[in-house]
Amino acid sequence: MADPHNLICVYNANNPAKAEMVRNLLEADGIRAVTADTHNPFPGLSIMPSEVFVELSNETLALEVIADAERNHLDESEEEESEV
C-alpha cells in the first residue's frame, strides 16, 4: 500500500465485518483498500466504527463504487418488500 499519509477514509462501518465487506468490494473493483479499527481499544469488539481507507488518487472511484453498491442494495430491498 502507499504511504499512510496518502490514504483517505472513504467509509465508516458500524463494525469490523462490514468494513471488511466494503474493503472486499473495493478490491474486487481493482481499488486497493485497507481497514482500520482505529478508535477501538479492544480489537474485535464492535464498540466503535471501523474505517476503510484508499489511496487519495482512488477516492472518487471508491466513493462511486460504494454508492453504487448501496443503491443496488436499497433497490433489492425495495423489490423484496413489494413482493411480500
CATH number at residue 49: 3.30.70.1530
**For residue 43, what are the contacts with CB-CB under 8 A and spacing of at least 6?**
16, 37
CA 28 to mean position of chain CA atoms: 12
Could you give the 3-state DSSP secondary structure of residue 27?
A: helix
Cell numbers describing residue 5: 499519509
* Neighbour tally for 45: CB within 10 Å: 11
pTM, to two decimals: 0.75
Tens digit of each residue's pLDDT, the chain (84 residues) = 556 679 999 999 988 889 999 999 999 999 999 998 655 555 555 556 789 999 999 999 999 999 999 988 866 655 555 555
Asked whether 20 and 11 are in contact (CB, 8 A), the reply is no
Q: What residues make up the domain containing 12?
A: 4-83
Q: How many domains does the chain have?
A: 1
* Neighbour tally for 35: CB within 10 Å: 19
